[in-house]
């Protein structure tokens, strides 16, 4: 008999001696009670309200079977048990990111990731490294550059030409509104100063020479990106696998990922290859109610093939087509977020919704009736309000809650409506800190600024808040996002110190929002999200102990190891 069949319950362990625990199961004997693996001597932040802190835990058949003191857990080991000495380091549950786009960001992992790097010198170094790493002829893609952090002016094609001449380099900026290319990319795409540009786009020209500078705005970027050879199925799967491993390296064991319904099958391929080391609650983009029943068929197909793979027996839940995703407005940086009142820096302009409230309500109704909760991107306060109205009209929530994504500005009166309507607030801390000192005050003015990124107010109104990154628009690292949630400071020293610190959250609140909160919105709430007896053993070991209370030294912390279902899926070299 294995320990899993008669689990030693945590409260029983804590209640007394091993003898007391051994008395629980009638056929439980010392000889065969040993765990596969124990971790001892740690600072374990369980996110389990019954035992928020522990020193140690035991894992058997991929699940936590006991959580307690080092002495209690050591007693569950025998000669065959693997012992992980945590040496006092902090351990958390595996992180769950509530909003990612991994399938569309793979080129940041296979190519170049310049996000969070302020200086051009380092950008060029990374581009050169990619050139040395990638096979000849392969395009160098990716991006994440942001010239406002330090450089103060746009980069040029000559900058890249100095390090990579003989293959195209095409790099998106952090906001996805412009691309930076080298001369080879312009040449292959046949882009010149005279090229015809799609509406709203622009080929930026040098004021002196009249030639393209290497910056293409909005739709003009398509002139080059459309010429890039498409990935084969095999290349796409390989790129996604690398991206999943990157996610594991920052401590993620689960994501709420969003893209087309087709991309769900890319994850399915990884499940069937037995290589998926990340739990994926998948959201498909859909604006038409009529298409929802087809997505329900996809869910059925994916679920049955996941079950047939046998993977969930050993790893626990891995993949399902969980929810529909829709979009009602744009973003504040480009004045496309839909506002109740005019922008402070553009007279007579509030933005416009991308769809009508009635159409959105119809979509929500169809999705909910087919068992799909709906996630709606809404950034401006009018976008958020319209989305809540549509939920009020159309929703028939099933087991899993509907949700609003981003909520960058909110009318204070709408906060309570989240609670009343049972809607989850899905928010990205680094989107707030990334705007400090850059454009948030300009766009909305000092009065509305206090209605921006109101994490604490939502929590005070008992609204479920889930955190995430919206990667690749902000760093995938949960430690970075948690730091941003706790300190609300520009990482680049812009602005004056903490920004509206009244909306900062505690470390424990941020950790919950990055673990159990993400599990609570899925069928897996009782299976993942905390270090609790009976749950799948997903956890993260940091490279040191976090101080109490957590201070700014969290910025120096890294993930040392990540485990999914008790198996190590990442270890820092």
Cβ closest to Zn ion, residue 381 vs residue 470:
470
Q: What's the rounded Cα separation, in Å, for the pair 371 and 296?
A: 8
Cβ closest to Zn ion, residue 223 vs residue 472:
472
Q: What's the rounded Cα separation, in Å, for the pair 352 and 329?
A: 7
Cβ closest to Zn ion, residue 36 vs residue 286:
286
Q: What is the 3-state secondary structure (H, E, C) of 319-357?
A: EEEEEEEEECCCCCCCCCCCCCCCCCCCCCCCCCCCCCH
Q: What's the rounded Cα separation, in Å, for the pair 254 and 260?
A: 19
- Beta-sheet strands, E only, within 328-448: 374-378, 403-406, 424-427
- In this structure, are residues 226 and 220 in contact, taking their beta carbons and an 8 Å threshold? no
Query: Considering only 19-27, 137-145, 285-293, 466-474, which stretch makes contact with Zn ion by CB under 5 A?
Result: 466-474
Cβ closest to Zn ion, residue 212 vs residue 351:
351
Cβ closest to Zn ion, residue 214 vs residue 429:
429
Query: Considering only 14-22, 123-131, 381-389, 469-477, which stretch makes contact with Zn ion by CB under 5 A?
Result: 469-477
Query: Considering only 39-47, 209-217, 468-476, 480-488, which stretch makes contact with Zn ion by CB under 5 A?
Result: 468-476
For 60, list phi and psi in degrees, rounded to 5. Answer: -140, 130
Binders of Zn ion among residues 421 to 450 (CB under 5 A) are none
Cβ closest to Zn ion, residue 77 vs residue 247:
247
- Write out the two tokens for 449: 């600024």
Contacts of 77 (CB under 8 A, 6+ apart): 34, 35, 38, 58, 83
- In this structure, are residues 565 and 313 in contact, taking their beta carbons and an 8 Å threshold? no
Taking the complex as a whole, the smallest distance from the CB of residue 404 to Zn ion amounts, in Å, to: 12
For 53, list phi and psi in degrees, rounded to 5. Answer: -120, 145
Taking the complex as a whole, the smallest distance from the CB of residue 263 to Zn ion amounts, in Å, to: 13
**What are the C-alpha distances in Å from 338 to residues 295, 333, 443?**
29, 12, 12
**What are the C-alpha distances in Å from 487 to residues 96, 483, 556?**
20, 6, 14
Residue nearest to Zn ion as judged by C-beta position: 470
Cβ closest to Zn ion, residue 470 vs residue 538:
470
Taking the complex as a whole, the smallest distance from the CB of residue 468 to Zn ion amounts, in Å, to: 9
Cβ closest to Zn ion, residue 452 vs residue 561:
452
Q: Is 186 helix (H, G, I), strand (E, B) or coil?
A: helix
Taking the complex as a whole, the smallest distance from the CB of residue 73 to Zn ion amounts, in Å, to: 40
- Residue 455 belongs to what H/E stretch? helix 455-460
Q: What's the rounded Cα separation, in Å, for the pair 160 and 170?
A: 10
Q: What's the rounded Cα separation, in Å, for the pair 252 and 540?
A: 8
Query: Considering only 11-19, 201-209, 245-253, 463-471, which stretch makes contact with Zn ion by CB under 5 A?
Result: 463-471
Cβ closest to Zn ion, residue 258 vs residue 319:
258
Cβ closest to Zn ion, residue 43 vs residue 257:
257
Taking the complex as a whole, the smallest distance from the CB of residue 569 to Zn ion amounts, in Å, to: 25
Taking the complex as a whole, the smallest distance from the CB of residue 145 to Zn ion amounts, in Å, to: 19
Cβ closest to Zn ion, residue 338 vs residue 563:
338
- In this structure, are residues 213 and 221 in contact, taking their beta carbons and an 8 Å threshold? no
Taking the complex as a whole, the smallest distance from the CB of residue 176 to Zn ion amounts, in Å, to: 10
For 252, list phi and psi in degrees, rounded to 5. Answer: -80, 135
Q: Is 36 exposed, middle or buried (CB count within 10 Å of its CB: 0-12, 13-18, 19+)?
A: buried
Cβ closest to Zn ion, residue 43 vs residue 470:
470
How open is the CA angle 560-565-569, to the nearest 5 degrees? 40
Q: What's the rounded Cα separation, in Å, for the pair 327 and 556?
A: 36
Q: In the set 72, 359, 470, 484, which binds Zn ion (CB under 5 A)?
A: 470
Taking the complex as a whole, the smallest distance from the CB of residue 258 to Zn ion amounts, in Å, to: 6
Query: Considering only 184-192, 282-290, 465-473, 530-538, which stretch makes contact with Zn ion by CB under 5 A?
Result: 465-473
Binders of Zn ion among residues 148 to 207 (CB under 5 A) are none
Q: What's the rounded Cα separation, in Å, for the pair 164 and 12?
A: 63
Query: Considering only 302-310, 324-332, 429-437, 467-475, which stretch makes contact with Zn ion by CB under 5 A?
Result: 467-475
Q: How many residues bind Zn ion (CB under 5 A)?
A: 1
Q: What's the rounded Cα separation, in Å, for the pair 466 and 323?
A: 15
Say what the alpha-carbon torsion angle 388, 523, 406, 419 is, to the nearest 10 degrees: 40
Taking the complex as a whole, the smallest distance from the CB of residue 363 to Zn ion amounts, in Å, to: 17
Binders of Zn ion among residues 197 to 256 (CB under 5 A) are none
Query: Considering only 173-181, 287-295, 337-345, 462-470, which stretch makes contact with Zn ion by CB under 5 A?
Result: 462-470
Taking the complex as a whole, the smallest distance from the CB of residue 198 to Zn ion amounts, in Å, to: 23
Taking the complex as a whole, the smallest distance from the CB of residue 376 to Zn ion amounts, in Å, to: 11
Taking the complex as a whole, the smallest distance from the CB of residue 470 to Zn ion amounts, in Å, to: 4
Cβ closest to Zn ion, residue 470 vs residue 489:
470
Taking the complex as a whole, the smallest distance from the CB of residue 101 to Zn ion amounts, in Å, to: 6
Q: What's the rounded Cα separation, in Å, for the pair 20 and 35?
A: 18
Interface residue list for Zn ion (CB under 5 A)? 470
């Amino acid at each position: 008999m294995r320990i899993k069949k008669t689990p030693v319950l945590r409260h029983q362990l804590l209640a007394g001696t091993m003898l007391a625990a051994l008395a629980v199961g009638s056929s439980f004997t010392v000889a065969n009670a040993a765990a596969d693996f124990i971790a001892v001597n740690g600072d374990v932040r369980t996110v389990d309200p019954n035992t928020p802190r522990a020193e140690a835990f035991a894992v058997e058949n991929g699940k936590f079977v006991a959580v307690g003191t080092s002495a209690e857990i050591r007693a569950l080991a025998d000669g065959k048990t693997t012992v992980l000495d945590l040496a006092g380091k902090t351990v958390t549950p595996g992180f769950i990111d509530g909003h990612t786009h991994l399938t569309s960001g793979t080129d940041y992992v296979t190519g170049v990731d310049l996000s969070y790097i302020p200086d051009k010198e380092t950008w060029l170094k990374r581009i050169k490294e990619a050139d040395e790493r990638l096979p000849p002829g392969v395009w160098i893609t990716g991006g994440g550059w942001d010239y406002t952090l330090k450089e103060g002016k746009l980069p040029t094609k000559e900058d890249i030409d100095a390090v990579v001449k003989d293959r195209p380099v095409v790099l998106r900026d952090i906001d996805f509104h412009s691309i930076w290319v080298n001369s080879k990319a312009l040449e292959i795409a046949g882009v010149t100063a005279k090229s015809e540009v799609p509406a709203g786009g622009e080929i930026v020209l040098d004021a002196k020479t009249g030639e393209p500078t290497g910056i293409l705005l909005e739709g003009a970027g398509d002139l080059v990106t459309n010429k890039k050879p498409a990935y084969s199925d095999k290349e796409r799967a390989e790129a996604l696998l690398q991206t999943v491993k990157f996610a594991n390296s920052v401590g993620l064991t689960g994501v709420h990922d969003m893209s087309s319904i087709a991309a769900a099958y890319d994850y399915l391929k990884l499940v069937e290859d037995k290589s998926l080391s990340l739990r994926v609650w998948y959201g498909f983009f859909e604006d038409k109610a009529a298409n929802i029943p087809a997505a329900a068929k996809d869910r059925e197909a994916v679920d049955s093939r996941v079950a047939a793979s046998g993977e969930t027996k050993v790893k626990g839940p891995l993949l399902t087509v969980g929810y529909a995703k829709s979009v009602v407005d744009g973003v504040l940086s480009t004045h496309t977020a839909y506002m109740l009142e005019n922008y402070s820096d553009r007279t007579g302009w509030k933005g416009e919704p991308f769809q009508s409230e009635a159409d959105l309500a119809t979509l929500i109704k169809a999705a909910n009736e087919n068992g799909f909760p709906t996630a709606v991107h809404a950034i401006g306060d009018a976008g958020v309000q319209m989305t809540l109205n549509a939920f009020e009209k159309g929703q028939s929530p099933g087991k899993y809650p509907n949700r609003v994504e981003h909520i960058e500005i909110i009318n204070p009166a709408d906060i309570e409506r989240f609670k009343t309507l049972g809607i989850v607030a899905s928010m990205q801390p680094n989107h707030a800190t990334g705007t400090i000192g850059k454009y948030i005050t300009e766009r909305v003015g000092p009065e509305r600024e206090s209605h921006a990124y109101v994490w604490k107010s939502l929590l005070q109104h008992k609204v479920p808040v889930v955190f995430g990154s919206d990667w690749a628009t902000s760093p995938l690292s949960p430690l970075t996002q948690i730091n941003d949630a706790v300190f609300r400071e520009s990482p680049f020293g812009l602005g004056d110190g903490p920004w509206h610190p009244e909306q900062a959250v505690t470390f424990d609140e941020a950790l919950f929002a990055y673990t159990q909160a993400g599990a609570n919105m899925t069928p897996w709430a009782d299976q993942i999200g905390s270090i609790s007896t009976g749950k799948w053993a997903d956890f993260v070991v940091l490279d040191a102990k976090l101080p109490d209370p957590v201070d700014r030294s969290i910025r120096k912390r890294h993930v040392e190891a990540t485990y999914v279902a008790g198996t190590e899926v990442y270890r820092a070299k």
